[in-house]
Every structure is written in C-alpha cells, then in structure tokens.
Amino acid sequence: MSTAKVYVGMSGGVDSSLTAALLVEQGYDVTGVYMKNWTQDLPGMKCPWADDLADAKRVAVQLGIDFKVFDFQNEYKHKVVDYMIEEYKKGRTPNPDIMCNQEVKFKLFLDAAIEDGADMIATGHYAQVQDGVLKRAVDDNKDQTYFLYRITHKALEKTLFPLGGMKKPQVRIEAEKRNLFTAAKKESMGICFVGSVGIREFLGQYVNTNPGAIIDFQTKKEVGQHDGAIFFTLGQRHGLSVGGGLPYYVVGKDMDKNEVYVTRDLNDRELWREEVELSDLHWIGKQPADGQKLQVRMRHRAPLINTELHGKKLILMEPQRAIAAGQSAVLYDGEVVLGGGILT
C-alpha cells in the first residue's frame, strides 16, 4: 500500500479508468486529470472531447476521487500538430503519438501535476517501468513502448503504468467487475487525441494540395493522377486509384514536382532496406555500445528485428520493406526499451 499522491491521466476510456481504479485500491491518493488537448471540430467530423471528458468525470465520481482538467490546447497545437504538418510538407511520415507522449503527457502533464502537488503520474499505457527503466508490456499485441521511447529516465522515475502486467481482455473483465462506466466503451482510433479522423481529412484542413502525376518507377510513364503527394507514404498500396493488373506500391515521391512514384514489383530495391540512418537519437539511459546486437521495431506492432547499431546507422539482419522517413526506429535489448531515433 502507498499513500503517494498520483495524478492519473484519464481520457474517458476503459484503460485509464481501470488504471485509476487499481491505484485507488492500492491505497494511493488519486486525482483524475483530463488533458484538454484538442477541441476543434472538422467538417463532417465532431471532435469527441466533450463526451470523453464527461466519461472520465463519471468514472472519477464513481471512484470517489478528485478530478481536474488541464488545458494544453496551445502547447499541443504547437508541439504536436504543427510538427506533424511540417513533417508531412517535407514529404516525411511523422508519428504524432510519439511526439504527444514526449511533449505533452510525460513533460507538460508531469510538470503541471508535480507543481500542483502530485508525487507521481500514471497513465493507461501498456508498458512496464522499474526504477526508471522502460520495459515491454506483458501483452505483446497491446504493447505501447514503441510510442514511449522518447520519454526521459527522470520522467519514468515518477510514472506508473498499472496495466503493463495485464492483457487487454483481462482489463475489460476487471473493469466490468468494478462496474466502471467505461467498461464496454470502444477504443478510439486515429490521430492522438483528435479522435477517429483520417490523416488525409486532417491534413486537408491545413495544407493546400494540387493534383499531380503518379509515375511508374520502372517505365517512367504516367499511370494515374493523385490529389496531393503529401498524402502518400512509402509502401502504400491503397488509395492510389490506379486500376488494372497487379497492385501498385508507392516507392517514392518528389514534393517539389508533386509526383508520386510507384511500382508493381514487391522486390523493387526502392522498397527494401538492409541498413538505415537515424537522426535525433534519444536514449532513456546509457547509450548502447557501438556494434551491440539489439532488436529494433520499425513501426507499432511490427515484429522485432535483430540489428546492430553503428553510430547513427542500423544494420538490419533481415531486409525490411517500406521504411518511411520520419517514422521511428525503437531499439530494445530483450524486454528493455533503450531508446531510438527518427528514420532519415
């Protein structure tokens, strides 16, 4: 049992609801906090923030805990949304959830909580932390450490992940046992905190796009038209609107020319990489030794691949397809998350 004061990030979903409930049962002095990061509606798409806030508040009342709202809208727009838009403009494929964790949840929220009197924070992420060391969750399918690799050791020392040792079906069962209001609530998909909005619809509100040519990389012939090169990413198959025969895959694009390059050959060398360069490296603890044998995950839920780190270069033991610049490569040593970097 602990009497430490913990501020729990409550999003209105089942994971954060059970997180708060478990910490109450463990004797912590729990305060629920809804992070108000985005409230803007988009054409034809209503932002669910008000409903999520109401759900989080209902659970807090149910648990008999204090409840607060932290307004981070300005910071979220600047640190997450603007970053994402600028990266897409450069022809890259960023991950806003990673930036949200780095800049908002485990920096802004942590600092605001501590300043308000908290000893620690907690979230419903599927991950484990021990003495400032980040480890993979028990549930491989739900493990969210890919999105958490840019957290600092200092932040992790003040963070709890109560769901890290549980599997998702168990979380639902435990929430139902406690009659939590959100026990049966569906998971939200889409951009971090924005709701179930596709990236194309979201970007369309902030960038001006023009139609352009889709060009066969081998023949150099135009095979179709796109509605904006910014919307396409390496390896993409769907949404090309190029009919007939085998499917095309995106192998590159030129933002200045507004051209998208495609191939029907899955073995095209442009689709595969045996080594990659990283930028903006971040290590949670000590930097791994040069040449150390590690594992890397190139995208959420992708399999772990054996690799060696040489400076900022990763040598992959198995060639990987459709590695998009702007995405993250997260490095592991067994269960331990070491850190990672941005793919160039």
**Looking at residue 280, which CATH number applies to its domain?**
2.40.30.10
Is the same domain home to 43 and 183?
Answer: yes
Bigger pLDDT: 182 or 43? 182
Residue 175, classed as helix, strand or coil, is helix
pLDDT of amino acid 286: 94
> What domain range includes position 237?
208-263
pLDDT of amino acid 196: 57
pLDDT of amino acid 58: 98
Is the same domain home to 9 and 152?
Answer: yes
Region for 321 from its dihedrals, namely left if φ exceeds 0, alpha if ψ lies in -120 to 50, beta otherwise: beta
Is the same domain home to 37 and 94?
Answer: yes
Q: Which of 174, 199, 224 is the last residue of a domain?
A: 199
Is the same domain home to 64 and 151?
Answer: yes
- Active site (catalytic) residues: 100, 192
| Strand-by-strand arrangement of the 5-9 sheet | 66-71, 29-36, 5-9, 120-122, 159-160
Mean pLDDT of 191-202: 66
* Residue labelled with tokens 């051209």: 259
pLDDT of amino acid 64: 98
Could you tell me which of 109, 123, 100, 299 has the C-alpha nearest to residue 191? 100
Is the same domain home to 102 and 119?
Answer: yes
% of residues, the chain, pLDDT over 90: 83
Is the same domain home to 284 and 254?
Answer: no
% of residues, the chain, pLDDT over 70: 97
Q: Are 163 and 15 in contact (CB under 8 A)?
A: yes
pLDDT of amino acid 242: 81
Residue 111, pLDDT above cutoff 80: yes
Residue 251 maps to which CATH number?
Answer: 2.30.30.280
Is the same domain home to 191 and 212?
Answer: no
Q: Which of 263, 281, 307 is the last residue of a domain?
A: 263
Is the same domain home to 50 and 194?
Answer: yes
Residue 71, pLDDT above cutoff 60: yes
Average pLDDT, whole number, for the chain? 93
Q: Give the number of other CB atoms < 10 A from CB of residue 259.
A: 16
Is the same domain home to 137 and 179?
Answer: yes
pLDDT of amino acid 275: 96
pLDDT of amino acid 189: 61
Domain count, the chain: 3
| Strand-by-strand arrangement of the 212-216 sheet | 222-226, 212-216, 259-263, 249-254
Q: Are 321 and 327 in contact (CB under 8 A)?
A: no
pLDDT of amino acid 190: 54
Mean pLDDT of 51-55: 95
Is the same domain home to 74 and 190?
Answer: yes
Is the same domain home to 121 and 68?
Answer: yes
Is the same domain home to 257 and 156?
Answer: no
Q: Which of 157, 181, 199 is the last residue of a domain?
A: 199
pLDDT of amino acid 200: 82
Q: Tens of pLDDT along 222-269? A: 999 999 999 999 999 888 878 777 899 999 999 999 999 999 998 888
Q: Tens of pLDDT along 233-246? A: 999 988 887 877 78
Mean pLDDT of 36-40: 91
